[in-house]
Every structure is written in structure tokens, then in C-alpha cells.
Structure 1
């Protein structure tokens, strides 16, 4: 058995006191400004409790720093394999910067069918959490789309912008999951731009869904709430006779609204939005993947667990998880995320062995997503710190995440 010392595994428990002192704030002052309990703040700094997404965003806002300043993302790359996973980021950054510019060379546009096939491939890689392969594909695909819409007009051009929006969504996800938070936000900007040119109102609303996620990251709960209310209002009059695509967007907007409510601690409102999403999924009756958001009974059940965790209610999360059945067809990204949330739920409930078991399950489903997820880092750090002597398996997992050497 090896003792894992606190100083060896750092994380937010180490970084938060540094940033707090640089800002000249005491623990009581920061707790008051961030609207978090002093007890929770102390426990996070002591490494006894993992920092939740809500805690991270609201404390970052109070400290006037970015989320990445607290989580220290992107994480260091120490192996050739890790470097390869990140290899496409620099090219992706260049393509996102050049998005409105005409191509330098008079290159022929690829046929729409070929581009659509590659966009579908990108979405499959996204859902399989094959981030290295996705990052390699995206820059050239976005460049090809840029060439194509330059040579196209009318409804064909709108269809290309629909493909571009889907590709920008994949770009946002690969950047976010690898820890490039600002680059992910830039890709959301590009999504909104392409969606507005697609002629598809539902794609525009999907942009609102993504923008609400950006607002959550800045702890701007009120603006996120207003945006989502406005977005739902645009399709609410037609919901009674809506098709599956519209219903999927309606349900997803309610799920995002539930997350905003959960982050603010409004359990009743979060549950009301979850109920609306559940009823919508039951009305559809199957798992669909419009807008690459995987809306349906399975994903709503996964969200129900995550929402309980967001409200720091591990017992409810575990209770809800007992009824979750994840089909083999569920994208790895969603299934893996479920077990990452469930690990946090078990930890809140006080069942550390089950928490570690859930992390191992998440790794089996989506290793790269698990390796780079900040909530995995926070969970495994607390598991390591809370044990007088860590087991070799816990230590090995922490080392695999890059937390200890």
C-alpha cells in the first residue's frame, strides 16, 4: 500500500487557496461573494469534498478568473498517445478563426453527399468519444465546407450551413472535452452563425441550448434562464401537434432549464422541467438523435441522475440510477457520462467503493472522456485523500488520469 499525500495530487483543493489569496479574499469573504456556504468552501480547499460544476463556476466568477484557471485545463500531456489526442487542436483553432474567409485557392467543391457522409462520421466519432480521430478530421472537413458554401447559393447553401452547424457542434465538444474551454466557446459562436444561415429555426434554438451551457459556465443563471424561456416560447404554440424533431428540441430545452435550476439549488423548478422532458420523451416513445443530442427516454433517465448530483443529493441520484437501463445502442459519450455522474453520486452518498467502481465503468466505456473529465479528477482526488492508505487500484487510476506520477 502507498500513501497518497495531499501535496502530490493538487487540483482545485490546491489552486483555489492560491487564487483566493492572490485576489486578497478571506474564506468568509469569498464564500459570501460566491454565495456558497463557508463550510463547503473550507471542505473543498481541504480536499474533503469534490468541487461541483456549480461551485467551480460561481467561485471563478467571484474571483474574476476563468473556469480553466481553477481546473487547470487543458491538463498536461506526458505521453505520445496523449499528444496525439490533442494534435488536431492547433489546426482546428486556425480553421475556426478563418471561418468567414474565402479559400486562398480556387479549389473545386466536394459534392454535398460526400460532405454529408463525413459530417455524419464526425458526429459518430463525437458520440464514440474518439477525440483524437475527431480532432484530426474536423479542420479539413470545415475547410471543405467553407469551399463548398463559397461556390453555392440558395437552398443548397442553406443545407451546407446545416452541415457546418453540426460540424461546429462536434468541434465545440472535442475542444471542451480536452479542456480548451475558450476554444469550445468560439466553436459555439461559429455554430450560432452557421445555424442562422441554415434557414432552420430548430438549429437556431439548438444554438440557444449551447449558449445556455456557456452561460452556465460563467454562473450567469438568470441570463441562461431567460434565454431558455424565450427559446421554448418560440415553439410552444405548436407543441400539441409537433413532429418528433420539434419535440426533441422542446425536451432538450427543458433538460437544460432543469440543469440551470439545479445549479441554483431550485429543486422544485428542476424537477418540473425534468417532468416535462420525461413526458415529452414518453410521447416520442424512443431514443432519437436529432441535433446530435440523443433525446429520448434513455437520455432523460441519464439526465435525471445527473440533475440529482448537481443538487448534491447522492441518495436520490442512486435511487434514480437503479431504474436506468442503458441500451447497447446508447452513444458511449452519454453512457460514460452517466457513470461519471453516478460516481459523484456514490461519493456524496458515502459509498466510496461504489464510486470507484463507477469510475472504472466510465473508463471502460469511454477512456479518453474519463481521462480528461474534471469531475473525474475531483472525484478520484477525494477518494485518494479520504483513505488513510490508498489501494493500488485507486492509485493506479489517479496516475492514469495524470493526477500523480
Structure 2
């Protein structure tokens, strides 16, 4: 039972910061529109904090960063992402210096950098953060160099590839808790796309900006402005199949943000479904827009709206074995596991999480919401399961001490 006693969950941090702020459970509950009993359950680990609105509300009420509650600081020693964390200072320096990073010699040829920028998109989707962290600083720096030193054709291409590299940086660093760096990277992507009048690049940058804002407490309205507003502003310019895929992704992001804001996401979901009909399945910016992805996003949106049964019904419309990327397979299983846990199907949720980990270990092991859910399942399952596969998973995701 020692693993269960030594588990880690958001409620522990909530309790510590609540005491530091001199708040009672009742007072904190009033600040986040929850009962004293609900706060007590969070703090005792009897109820997982897997709701975005609750998590952000608690962070704001306690005057801390979301990462202070989810444990981003401790995650920096996670062996799955430690190499990326170590690279962050140079990634940040490359973005800020815009081509003047201390690096002797000429930049790599633009043809090679273009290959690396596309490769970086694929690597992020594969959640190989160690490789990604090692390549981003020089990639960003050298592309900036070409935007200033090359001929007109080279400069244009450098801006297009820099949009991709900055986009990758924004989404990767956002997911690991570097909100300011992610925002600066998304802005750099927008600036490069704007410099060459690339509507697809601008749509990708708006998507990245919306993702960063959705992960920032108090900024969900801004997130909706970047996604829904960006889709409206760019609609007439997004005409190629690849551009339409990005238009569809903006609507999926708008639907998720709408759900987080307790607004009806239906119109955005319908627009995304219609866009699949027009654009088909594609891989612009390696976002894998298409029918399967739309359904997986609908599962995320239904979870956001606490409609677990809808998630389970949506899951039946897809054959997970046919999903063409490990990242999307893993996300499918993670969303299904959340719904199964919410409906009391704990054994099924455990099995589904193990399938998610098999598809994409790093994605499962670096997501705070999954760590929180696994820790809750450990406490629910008690010794007989915690000493088996679930206990091992809990150690791998950091939900209990390893």
C-alpha cells in the first residue's frame, strides 16, 4: 500500500496553497463555485481535478500558476522530456535573437532546413521531445539567417519554413508548461507568415495562439477570438485543400474553446464536418485533419462538456486500429478512458489507458490530466490493482513515487 500513500495529485497542492493563503475549504469553494465537500474530496484525492474550468479556477483563486498545481516543475526531471527541458534556454534565445544566436559558421542550406522543419512537425506528433529539443535552436536560428541573407526566393522559403518551426515550438512548449515561450513562438509564426502573405501559415499561427490561450487561466475568450475569429478573417483566403484543413482545425479548436466557456460548440463542429467534405483527409502541418480527427475532437469536446456517454457513443463510430497515427490513436484512448472513469467503469478505464500508453508512451506520460486520472484510479482500485499493471502505469506517469 506504500505506493498509494505516496501518490501525487493536484488536490495535495490545492491543500498546501490554500493553507498558505489562509483560506478555509468553504472560502475556497465559494471562490470557485464549489461546495466545501467538493474541495475536501479534491484535497483527499477522492475526486480527480480533470476539468479545465475547475483547475483554472483553483489556480486563479490560489494565485498560482496552473503548473504549480499540476506539477510541471517536478516533470522537468521526467526522463521522457528532460532533454527538451534542457534545450529550452537555447530555443528561447534562438527566437529572441532572430538569427544572431552565438553559433559560428554559415547557416545550413535552405533545402536541408526545409526538410528539418517538416521533420520537426512529424517529430512533435510522435511526441519525441528529446529529438525535437535538440534540433529546434539551430533550425530556428538558421531559418532567421536566411530570411535576412538569402535572395528573394530563399527569403520567402525561409519565412514559410520558419512559420512551421515556430508553430512546432509553440505547441511543444505550451504542452510542457512554458506559456510565455509558447506565446512568443506563436507570434513568431504569425510574423513570418505575414511577411510573405501565407494564409495557411497565418491560420496555423492563429491555431497555435488559440491553443496557448486555452491553456492560460482567464484567457479562454481570447482563445476563441483567435480560433473562431481567425477562421472568419481568413476564410476567403483559405482556398487550397491544405489551407482548408487548417480552416477546419480552427473550427475544431473554436468548438473546444466554446465548450470550455460553456457555450454551444455545435456550429463550429458542423463547419469542421463540412470542411472534411470539401478538403478530405490531409496532413497540413501534420495535424491530420479529416473524418477520424473530427470524431476524436468531438470526443474531447464532449468530455469538456461532461457528457461522458456521448464520448462512449462517439468512440463506437471509429475503429481505433484504423487510425493512421499513434498520436491520434493514443488521444482516442485517453478521451475514452476519461469517459469510462466518469461513468464508473474503472477497470475498463485502466485497460484503455494502457492501450493509450502502448500507442504513444510519451504523450500519456507527459499529460497532467492523465497523471491526475491515473492517480485517482490507483486510489480507487486499492492494493489488488495498484500492485499490478495500474501501479506500474502510475509510476511511469508520475502519479505515484517511483
Map 1:317-396 → 2, pairs under 5 A: 317-326=311-320, 330-391=324-385, 392-396=388-392
Between the two structures, name the one with larger relative contact order (CA 8 Å, sep ≥ 6). Answer: 1
**Shift in alpha-carbon separation, 1:250–1:37, aligned structure 2, 3 A:** farther
Map 1:147-158 → 2, pairs under 5 A: 147-158=145-156
Aligned length: 397
Query: Is residue 149–residue 160 contact of structure 1 (8 Å, CA) maintained in 2?
Result: yes
Distance 1:359 1:271 in 2: 28
Distance 2:100 2:48 in 1: 47
Q: Which residue of 2 aligns with 1:279?
A: 274
Map 1:189-204 → 2, pairs under 5 A: 189-204=187-202
Tell me the alpha carbon deviations over residues 348-373 of structure 1, each in whole angstroms, 9 at most, x when there is no partner. Answer: 11111111112111111111111111
Distance 1:358 1:185 in 2: 33
Give the unaligned 5+ runs of structure 1: none
Tell me the alpha carbon deviations over residues 35-71 of structure 1, each in whole angstroms, 9 at most, x when there is no partner. Answer: 4565544432232222123321232223332111111
The answer to whether structure 1 residue 186 and structure 2 residue 184 are counterparts is yes
Query: Is residue 347–residue 355 contact of structure 1 (8 Å, CA) maintained in 2?
Result: yes
Give the unaligned 5+ runs of structure 2: none
Q: Which residue of 2 aligns with 1:245?
A: 242
Q: Which residue of 2 aligns with 1:225?
A: 224
Query: Is residue 99–residue 141 contact of structure 2 (8 Å, CA) maintained in 1?
Result: no
TM-score by length of 1: 0.89
1:215 Cα deviation from its structure 2 partner = 2.0
Q: Which residue of 1 aligns with 2:168?
A: 170
Map 1:17-96 → 2, pairs under 5 A: 17-36=15-34, 40-51=38-49, 52-76=51-75, 83-84=82-83, 86-96=85-95
The range that moved more, 322-331 or 287-296, is: 322-331
**Shift in alpha-carbon separation, 1:37–1:260, aligned structure 2, 3 A:** farther
1:381 Cα deviation from its structure 2 partner = 0.7
1:3 Cα deviation from its structure 2 partner = 5.8
TM-score by length of 2: 0.89
Query: Is residue 158–residue 199 contact of structure 1 (8 Å, CA) maintained in 2?
Result: no
1:127 Cα deviation from its structure 2 partner = 1.5
Distance 1:195 1:107 in 2: 27
Query: Is residue 171–residue 208 contact of structure 2 (8 Å, CA) maintained in 1?
Result: no
> The residue matched to 1:308 in structure 2 has which SS?
helix
